[in-house]
Amino acid sequence: MVWLLLLPFRLLFGIVFGLLALPFVLLFLPFVLLILLPFAILRFTLRIVVGLVVLPILAVVALIALLVGGIAVAAAVLVPLIPVLILACCVWAVWWLTRGSTGLIRT
């Protein structure tokens, strides 16, 4: 809670020293840009190149992950239904074996 009491003083000193430093910052800004601008351009270029190389790989990995996830969801839904399918096949087999004559001539 002390920082709330000191906040007005911090703001005041920040504004005063910021205004005092402004002429020096404006004076040295071209030199700093002359030194740092090539590195900034290099960093931007490397980010673009890495993005162009990595993004297709990430897209393929994401597609494979979605495919595997879809298979997993389908398996999670269908595997519990296997006993019902087996029971239905047994009922159909019993019905097929015990059905009566349909009146058709079998040879």
Q: Which is higher by pLDDT, 24 or 103?
A: 24
Residue 102 lies in a domain: no
Residue 107 lies in a domain: no
Domain total in the chain: 1
Residue 5 lies in a domain: no
pLDDT for position 103: 55
| Tens digit of each residue's pLDDT (9 = 90 or more) over 33-85 | 899 989 999 999 999 999 999 999 999 999 999 999 999 999 999 999 999 99
Percent of the chain with pLDDT over 90: 67
Q: Domain containing 80: what range? A: 10-97
Give the residue among 33, 35, 37 at the shortest CA–CA distance from 25: 33
Residue 82 lies in a domain: yes
Residue 106 lies in a domain: no
